[in-house]
Structure 1
């Protein structure tokens, strides 16, 4: 048996951040995520499945925003989809199989989550799967499993972490928006800021109409709030607090609930444009 010092060591920094301070619960989640991910990366063949289950289990304690995103990604595909669209069966040589992951990040993450879930629950045997699709230069089981960790799990864990961290960071930024004072202002309806805010709100209205995932009652409520908010902005004088409550509440909710989708991104862009217009 090779010593651990001779086994492959991870090359990437799984603690990647952009620097915005998150709430303590979210920070604790990412600490647990990083710890579990490192265990998988360093794992020998006999430990790989157990550590992979621990990594999946860390999502049980994730903030709801993160848990919802992981569940959404997992709902997009299953192992049957991976077998059909990604897997090219191996020949007689070690590592001769191919895994042709999608180019689109969301599809790739979903397919890889489905594959890792199969490895975690025992439907795929790690060392068999590793020998079929990865090659470490010899037939050493631990090195071959770590080759799989290096080329499947580690880049996946890093890409997923970055996606989840961005989501949490954006949510923190939205939460930091300073409350506006209850003041009346005369907005310049000919300004570039006003035009941009109205255009961004129009884009949200289009995406909202096209979205079939949102609850009909929520959709109707938000449509009314956005229309009313636009009228408030177009008035000769605008009460800032009313515009904030009417528009930023609806836009913030859409940005968080539908993060990474076209509707969520449009809502975030509108949130920023309206915030800038109102002087936050």
Structure 2
């Protein structure tokens, strides 16, 4: 099968589009023919070696964690899926080695859920990691109906999903973004504000008493700004800044969870959640897709189309 492989840490030049052996399917796994794979910041961060101290990375490494595709075969102990089923998954194991930038993936059933019918392949492929990050972060922050949530980097892949999930809960959402994304954020239900110096003052112009909770998806000064605006630091979460824990908040690292994936799929099928797709690339152009993702300026998700 064809896959995207790296054999050492480095820049885009270490990314190979090459032939690798088909994966073996264990008793509690299914073989998925991948139709789409989401591109996430963690992908190029792994490639550059930025997470070497926290992840068990093994070379040669097939990149990627997201997928949407069709079940081709099932392991002997699998009863949850059958050949022909359409699935989505965050296929992350204890070691980083067998990823989803590939034509075929052997995925443990605990990492999968059925694909929402309301989403096309590109949207479905972009949902798992970003969706689980947003979903699990909001579960930690628990914004109630009528409360105000501040989302830093609200126009990105995780941010655009977090906005929709919070709005579905009945929360008021204030989202930071560049000016070009403000009108679009309003269509998702958020009240946009410009990021950068003076952010706390701009948020207080909309919410004079501050906000009830804040989700940091960008790093930098976002946690410190959130501390100025949120009365209870336990209701500040970050997916990028470990220092949030020193301020009493929560660090979020998305976990594969079949039930959470199924809940996201259900929201999509009820019309409460969609996945904005910024760009798609063929699998062979994974390096270009990662380069675009690393710019941090895209609206929604970047997705690889496979096959």
TM category (shorter chain) comes to under 0.3
- Considering fraction of residues, name the structure with more strand: 2
TM-score normalised by structure 1 residue count: 0.24
Which protein has the larger Cα radius of gyration, Structure 1 or Structure 2? 1
Higher RCO (CA 8 Å, separation ≥ 6 residues): 2
- Considering fraction of residues, name the structure with more helix: 1
